[in-house]
Amino acid sequence: MNVQNTIEQSVPERLMRVRQVMAREGVDALLVPSADPHLSEYLPGYWQGRRWLSGFDGSVGTLVVTADFAGLWADSRYWEQAENELTGSGIALMKLLPGKPGALEWLAENIRANGAVAVDGAVMALSQARLLEQSLKSRQARLITDLDLLGEVWEARPTLPDNPVYQHLPPHATVSRAGKLGQLRAKLQERGADWHFIATLDDIAWLFNLRGSDVSYNPVFLAFALIGMDQAFLFVGAGKVDEHLRHVLETDGIEVRDYSAVHDALSGLAPSSRLLIDPARVTSGLLKALDERVQLVEGLNPTTLSKSCKSEDELVHVRQVMEQDGAALCEFFAWLETHMGQETITELTVDEQLRAARARRPGFVSLSFATIAAFNGNGAMPHYRATEKSHAIIEGDGLLLIDSGGQYLGGTTDITRMVPIGTPSLEQKQDCTRVLKGMIALSRARFPRGILSPLLDAIARAPIWADQVDYGHGTGHGVGYFMNVHEGPQVIAYQAVTAPHTAMQEGMISSIEPGTYRPGAWGVRIENLVATRALGRSAFGDFLHFETLTLCPIDTRCLLPDMLTKEELDWLDQYHALVSERLAPLLQGAALDWLRMRTAPMQVV
């Protein structure tokens, strides 16, 4: 079956049907973000309306539909994928570029005077809804947030997941839920708030020491939480919390209510209440239930910062997880080198073998995201994913990019390595070496405590910019503790807003992953996870540095040693010595031999 032809036929039909509903309701433009009521990165099928309506399979993108136009806004990670998937759909790819209007700006500029823009308020962040509503005023246009137009035309819409909720237990849960609730209530008191409403799934899972599997790759569950000084309510689907767990939660002062009861709970807050919310992490639709006299206290969810700063006890478990994950990778790479050329190996094979290697390790729960195994040209798409219908056989000469990770009871991993296939070209080795220089530069950096994380981005880019090369994605993101592989508040990307809450703090785990992408030819990315650690105090204040957590050899066959400085070679040799020391006790046979070969010093002593 020709999948592309199916998309060409179905997407135009869906657009036609939604335009008919728009005309009936007097809507000039429909905004469809990639979001759910929890503003999650990865969405349950029920909330994947943008994917259903557009046919674009990427995880991030914003769709706008008018009577005579449809456009999908996506950043450079998705351009090649979007161009392929939108062909024949009637939807234009709108490339997100610095200084160019995004979907909200486009709407403000193009909506007709006195027109109407509709978005499902259930999936629109309060901060974004306010911004759009304000920008529409210049054209006397209005924003409608109480219509679910997709719901009227989406046949066979998936149901909400009903997977069970379970406890994250000691020793991996290092602070009790009662202790975390106590810390949160102290923050509420500081802010003068009576209640705190949380919609973000990772904050809720972390606060209550609970986990689930409602969202692919992230051990979270659909829920809302309402926390008062003396009460705590957890809103979750019927049957997801068994009687034993319900009793355990009640013992800790947490009342479990049905997921759908959240609107009644919000509407029942006393008009004199002060409610703490994060306007960027709660939707406008949910807050419609509030009495208009309830006073909003706005700011970052306190749990977001608490969750991001891992304790010393948590870092002990993370280091153990990194050893197990690194050992699994060594077993995989040893298998790959042994079988390459002896049998047909595809990008799908890489995914299968990596998953199996991790599954053999203690504490493994699931992958932390869909494995990216991308050979040559496929590697130029940063979020590429091989499928049964479209994947490459790994043969000939070139570069294999493997970006993968696992969820373990004691931590979350995310790593990217480059593998030479046959004989990589000089240009490919130059790109790999340049990217490694960028990763080493930031890994070795020292910086003042509290520096805003987007400012660190230039350190990794400087060696790459020096050759007039760049990449379109950020350099780093926060990583959870047996939690979402992408978390805030820190983000190492110069394009990000330098807000106070993005400051680097001790205990944060971040990725460092510079890259280079040659469309249609190859892509390069090398990634380690690091923990922010105290360095010491000088006359100029407190300073921080990074401890590298990821343990896996960086394949030196992809590198040009002459491009590396003495300091960079020293860093690489010292890193490989550490990797060998930490992983060797967990390996034997071919995997141990591979480790020793791939961690041999590059410099002759």
Could you read off the pLDDT of 173-207 as tens digits, one per residue? 999 999 999 999 999 999 999 999 999 999 999 99
Rounded Cα distance between 218 and 406, Å, is 10
Classify residue 167 as exposed, middle or buried by CB count within 10 Å of its CB (0-12, 13-18, 19+). middle
Please check the confidence at residue 215 and state whether its pLDDT lies above 80. yes
Residue 113's pLDDT is: 92
Q: What is the rounded average pLDDT of the residues 519-528?
A: 96
The CB density around residue 353, as the number of other CB atoms within 10 Å, is 18
Q: What is the rounded average pLDDT of the residues 483-489?
A: 95
pLDDT, tens digit, 9 for 90 and up, residues 223-275 = 999 999 999 999 999 999 999 999 999 999 999 999 999 999 999 999 999 99
Summary mean pLDDT of the chain: 94
Question: What are 139's two structure tokens?
Answer: 């054209």
Asked whether 514 and 522 are in contact (CB, 8 A), the reply is no
Please check the confidence at residue 9 and state whether its pLDDT lies above 90. no
pTM (predicted TM-score):
0.91
Residue 604's pLDDT is: 58
- If you count them, how many residues does the chain have? 605
Q: What is the rounded average pLDDT of the residues 427-438?
A: 98
Q: What is the rounded average pLDDT of the residues 29-48?
A: 93
Residue 428's pLDDT is: 98
- The neighbouring-strand residues paired with 374 are 401
CA distances from 257 to 184, 282, 418, 480, 599 (A): 20, 19, 48, 27, 54
pLDDT, tens digit, 9 for 90 and up, residues 54-97 = 999 888 899 999 999 999 999 887 888 888 899 889 999 999 88
Q: Which residues contact 298 (CB under 8 A, 6 or more apart)?
A: 276, 277, 278, 279
pLDDT, tens digit, 9 for 90 and up, residues 536-560 = 999 999 999 999 999 999 999 999 9
Classify residue 588 as exposed, middle or buried by CB count within 10 Å of its CB (0-12, 13-18, 19+). exposed
Domains of the chain and any CATH numbers: 3-153 (3.40.350.10), 166-306 (3.40.350.10), 309-598 (3.90.230.10)
Phi, psi of 465, deg, nearest 5: -60, -30
Please check the confidence at residue 291 and state whether its pLDDT lies above 80. yes
Helix (H) or strand (E) holding 116: strand 116-118
Please check the confidence at residue 114 and state whether its pLDDT lies above 80. yes
4 — pLDDT class (breaks 50, 70, 90): very low
20 — pLDDT class (breaks 50, 70, 90): very high
pLDDT, tens digit, 9 for 90 and up, residues 301-356 = 999 999 999 999 999 999 999 999 999 999 999 999 999 989 999 999 999 999 99
Question: What are 145's two structure tokens?
Answer: 């947030």
- The neighbouring-strand residues paired with 94 are 73
pLDDT, tens digit, 9 for 90 and up, residues 120-158 = 999 999 999 999 999 999 889 999 999 899 888 998 899
With b meaning 16 or more CB within 10 Å and e meaning fewer, what string describes 36-59? bbbbbbbbbeebbbbbbbbbbbbb
Asked whether 464 and 470 are in contact (CB, 8 A), the reply is yes
Rounded Cα distance between 273 and 193, Å, is 8
Q: What is the rounded average pLDDT of the residues 396-416?
A: 97
Residue 546's pLDDT is: 98
Please check the confidence at residue 456 and state whether its pLDDT lies above 90. yes
Least confident window among 98-102, 509-513, 516-520: 98-102
Classify residue 2 as exposed, middle or buried by CB count within 10 Å of its CB (0-12, 13-18, 19+). exposed
Question: What are 68's two structure tokens?
Answer: 């005579």
